[in-house]
Amino acid sequence: MEKFTTLEGVAAPMRIINVDTDRIIPKQYLKTIKRTGLGKGLFSEMRYNDDGSEKPDFVLNKPAYRNAKILVVGDNFGCGSSREHAPWALADFGIRCVISTSFADIFFNNCGKNGILAIVVSPEDLEKLFQDAERGANATLSIDLAAQTIKGPDGGTLHFDIDPGRKHNLLNGLDEIGLTLERAPAIDAYEAKLAQREWA
Protein backbone atom coordinates (compact mmCIF):
# COMPACT_ATOMS: atom_id res chain seq x y z
CA MET A 1 0.00 0.00 0.00
CA GLU A 2 1.29 3.47 -0.86
CA LYS A 3 2.33 5.54 2.14
CA PHE A 4 0.29 8.62 3.00
CA THR A 5 2.48 11.36 4.45
CA THR A 6 1.55 14.66 2.82
CA LEU A 7 -0.82 15.50 0.02
CA GLU A 8 -1.30 18.69 -1.94
CA GLY A 9 -4.00 18.79 -4.55
CA VAL A 10 -7.26 20.18 -5.84
CA ALA A 11 -10.26 19.51 -3.62
CA ALA A 12 -13.61 18.84 -5.32
CA PRO A 13 -16.76 19.85 -3.42
CA MET A 14 -19.77 17.50 -3.31
CA ARG A 15 -22.50 19.09 -1.20
CA ILE A 16 -24.53 15.89 -1.09
CA ILE A 17 -25.44 13.95 2.07
CA ASN A 18 -25.89 10.18 2.44
CA VAL A 19 -23.88 9.22 -0.65
CA ASP A 20 -23.95 5.45 -0.48
CA THR A 21 -21.46 2.99 -1.92
CA ASP A 22 -23.91 2.10 -4.72
CA ARG A 23 -23.57 5.67 -5.98
CA ILE A 24 -19.82 5.70 -5.48
CA ILE A 25 -19.43 2.56 -7.64
CA PRO A 26 -22.61 1.03 -9.12
CA LYS A 27 -23.21 -2.72 -9.10
CA GLN A 28 -22.27 -3.34 -12.74
CA TYR A 29 -18.63 -2.65 -11.86
CA LEU A 30 -18.46 -5.28 -9.12
CA LYS A 31 -17.63 -8.21 -11.41
CA THR A 32 -13.90 -7.63 -11.04
CA ILE A 33 -11.68 -8.30 -8.05
CA LYS A 34 -8.92 -6.10 -9.48
CA ARG A 35 -8.31 -2.77 -7.80
CA THR A 36 -7.45 -1.07 -11.08
CA GLY A 37 -9.74 0.17 -13.83
CA LEU A 38 -12.58 1.15 -11.49
CA GLY A 39 -11.93 4.89 -11.69
CA LYS A 40 -13.96 5.07 -14.90
CA GLY A 41 -16.99 3.82 -12.97
CA LEU A 42 -16.64 6.22 -10.04
CA PHE A 43 -19.97 8.01 -9.53
CA SER A 44 -20.88 6.79 -13.03
CA GLU A 45 -24.62 7.34 -12.63
CA MET A 46 -23.94 10.96 -11.69
CA ARG A 47 -21.04 11.46 -14.15
CA TYR A 48 -22.53 10.06 -17.36
CA ASN A 49 -25.72 10.25 -19.41
CA ASP A 50 -27.39 7.07 -20.67
CA ASP A 51 -25.49 7.35 -23.95
CA GLY A 52 -22.15 7.45 -22.09
CA SER A 53 -21.54 11.16 -22.61
CA GLU A 54 -20.42 13.24 -19.65
CA LYS A 55 -22.80 15.34 -17.62
CA PRO A 56 -21.09 18.75 -17.68
CA ASP A 57 -22.60 19.85 -14.37
CA PHE A 58 -21.10 17.00 -12.34
CA VAL A 59 -18.18 18.29 -10.32
CA LEU A 60 -15.54 15.78 -11.47
CA ASN A 61 -16.39 16.52 -15.12
CA LYS A 62 -15.59 20.20 -14.71
CA PRO A 63 -12.12 21.16 -15.99
CA ALA A 64 -10.99 22.54 -12.64
CA TYR A 65 -11.71 19.27 -10.83
CA ARG A 66 -10.80 16.53 -13.33
CA ASN A 67 -7.55 15.85 -11.51
CA ALA A 68 -8.88 16.29 -7.98
CA LYS A 69 -7.05 14.35 -5.28
CA ILE A 70 -9.35 15.33 -2.43
CA LEU A 71 -13.13 15.18 -1.99
CA VAL A 72 -15.01 17.44 0.42
CA VAL A 73 -18.36 15.75 0.94
CA GLY A 74 -21.60 15.91 2.93
CA ASP A 75 -22.58 13.93 6.02
CA ASN A 76 -22.69 10.13 6.18
CA PHE A 77 -20.52 9.49 3.14
CA GLY A 78 -20.08 5.85 2.13
CA CYS A 79 -23.25 4.50 3.73
CA GLY A 80 -25.10 1.49 2.32
CA SER A 81 -23.44 -1.77 1.35
CA SER A 82 -19.97 -2.76 2.51
CA ARG A 83 -18.41 -3.04 -0.96
CA GLU A 84 -14.66 -2.46 -0.87
CA HIS A 85 -14.85 -1.52 -4.54
CA ALA A 86 -15.89 1.98 -3.40
CA PRO A 87 -12.47 2.99 -2.03
CA TRP A 88 -10.82 1.06 -4.88
CA ALA A 89 -12.69 3.26 -7.36
CA LEU A 90 -11.79 6.45 -5.50
CA ALA A 91 -8.11 5.48 -5.38
CA ASP A 92 -8.04 4.44 -9.03
CA PHE A 93 -9.50 7.82 -10.01
CA GLY A 94 -6.77 9.53 -7.98
CA ILE A 95 -8.63 10.48 -4.80
CA ARG A 96 -6.32 10.03 -1.79
CA CYS A 97 -8.35 11.91 0.85
CA VAL A 98 -12.05 12.35 1.65
CA ILE A 99 -13.22 14.94 4.19
CA SER A 100 -16.65 14.95 5.85
CA THR A 101 -18.39 15.33 9.18
CA SER A 102 -19.21 11.61 9.26
CA PHE A 103 -18.63 8.35 7.38
CA ALA A 104 -20.23 4.93 7.45
CA ASP A 105 -18.02 2.72 9.65
CA ILE A 106 -17.26 0.00 7.10
CA PHE A 107 -16.45 2.48 4.35
CA PHE A 108 -14.28 4.48 6.77
CA ASN A 109 -12.29 1.35 7.69
CA ASN A 110 -12.01 0.24 4.05
CA CYS A 111 -10.52 3.62 3.16
CA GLY A 112 -7.76 3.15 5.71
CA LYS A 113 -7.02 -0.34 4.43
CA ASN A 114 -6.60 1.03 0.91
CA GLY A 115 -4.39 4.06 1.59
CA ILE A 116 -7.14 6.69 1.55
CA LEU A 117 -7.20 9.18 4.41
CA ALA A 118 -10.78 9.76 5.59
CA ILE A 119 -10.87 12.87 7.79
CA VAL A 120 -13.72 13.77 10.14
CA VAL A 121 -14.16 17.49 10.85
CA SER A 122 -16.76 19.66 12.55
CA PRO A 123 -19.67 21.10 10.52
CA GLU A 124 -18.10 24.56 10.85
CA ASP A 125 -14.75 23.36 9.51
CA LEU A 126 -16.45 21.43 6.73
CA GLU A 127 -18.20 24.60 5.59
CA LYS A 128 -14.85 26.41 5.46
CA LEU A 129 -13.42 23.58 3.37
CA PHE A 130 -16.45 23.64 1.05
CA GLN A 131 -15.88 27.34 0.49
CA ASP A 132 -12.20 26.69 -0.27
CA ALA A 133 -13.04 23.80 -2.60
CA GLU A 134 -15.61 25.86 -4.50
CA ARG A 135 -12.87 28.17 -5.74
CA GLY A 136 -12.26 25.95 -8.76
CA ALA A 137 -8.69 25.74 -10.00
CA ASN A 138 -7.58 27.63 -6.87
CA ALA A 139 -9.11 24.97 -4.62
CA THR A 140 -5.80 23.47 -3.53
CA LEU A 141 -5.55 21.97 -0.05
CA SER A 142 -2.38 20.73 1.66
CA ILE A 143 -2.71 17.84 4.09
CA ASP A 144 0.01 16.80 6.51
CA LEU A 145 -0.86 13.53 8.23
CA ALA A 146 2.04 13.59 10.71
CA ALA A 147 1.03 17.09 11.88
CA GLN A 148 -2.69 16.29 11.44
CA THR A 149 -3.35 19.55 9.62
CA ILE A 150 -5.25 20.77 6.56
CA LYS A 151 -3.99 24.03 5.06
CA GLY A 152 -6.27 26.00 2.78
CA PRO A 153 -5.35 28.05 -0.31
CA ASP A 154 -5.09 31.22 1.77
CA GLY A 155 -2.84 29.60 4.37
CA GLY A 156 -5.50 29.01 7.03
CA THR A 157 -4.90 25.79 8.93
CA LEU A 158 -7.32 23.30 10.47
CA HIS A 159 -6.37 20.49 12.84
CA PHE A 160 -7.98 17.04 12.65
CA ASP A 161 -8.00 14.03 14.96
CA ILE A 162 -7.13 10.49 13.91
CA ASP A 163 -6.76 7.18 15.71
CA PRO A 164 -3.03 6.58 16.38
CA GLY A 165 -3.13 3.08 14.91
CA ARG A 166 -4.76 4.24 11.70
CA LYS A 167 -2.26 7.10 11.47
CA HIS A 168 0.68 4.69 11.92
CA ASN A 169 -0.62 2.36 9.23
CA LEU A 170 -1.20 5.13 6.68
CA LEU A 171 2.13 6.85 7.34
CA ASN A 172 3.94 3.54 6.86
CA GLY A 173 1.82 2.17 4.01
CA LEU A 174 0.65 -0.81 6.04
CA ASP A 175 -2.47 -2.70 5.05
CA GLU A 176 -3.49 -5.78 7.06
CA ILE A 177 -0.89 -7.95 5.32
CA GLY A 178 1.82 -5.35 5.80
CA LEU A 179 0.88 -4.96 9.45
CA THR A 180 1.19 -8.73 9.93
CA LEU A 181 4.58 -8.78 8.19
CA GLU A 182 5.74 -5.93 10.43
CA ARG A 183 5.06 -8.21 13.39
CA ALA A 184 6.69 -11.25 11.78
CA PRO A 185 9.67 -11.39 14.21
CA ALA A 186 7.34 -11.50 17.22
CA ILE A 187 5.16 -14.11 15.51
CA ASP A 188 8.19 -16.24 14.66
CA ALA A 189 9.48 -16.00 18.24
CA TYR A 190 6.09 -17.04 19.61
CA GLU A 191 5.86 -20.01 17.24
CA ALA A 192 9.40 -21.12 18.13
CA LYS A 193 8.54 -20.92 21.83
CA LEU A 194 5.34 -22.88 21.23
CA ALA A 195 7.25 -25.56 19.31
CA GLN A 196 9.70 -25.96 22.21
CA ARG A 197 6.80 -26.52 24.61
CA GLU A 198 5.29 -29.17 22.35
CA TRP A 199 8.58 -31.08 22.23
CA ALA A 200 9.25 -30.74 25.95
Segment 59-109, tens digit of pLDDT: 999 999 999 999 999 999 999 888 899 999 999 999 999 999 999 999 999
pTM confidence score: 0.88
The model's pLDDT over 137-189, given as tens digits with 9 standing for 90+, comes to: 788 999 999 999 999 998 899 999 999 999 999 999 987 666 666 676 777 77
Give Cα 7 distance to the centre of its chain.
12
- How does the average pLDDT of the chain come out, rounded? 91
Distance, in Å, from the CA atom of 179 to the CA atom of 176, rounded to the nearest integer, reads 5
Cβ-in-10-Å burial (0-12, 13-18, 19+) of 10 comes to buried
* pLDDT tier at 193, thresholds 50, 70, 90: confident
Compute the residue count for the chain: 200
- Compute φ and ψ for 172, nearest 5 degrees: -105, 5
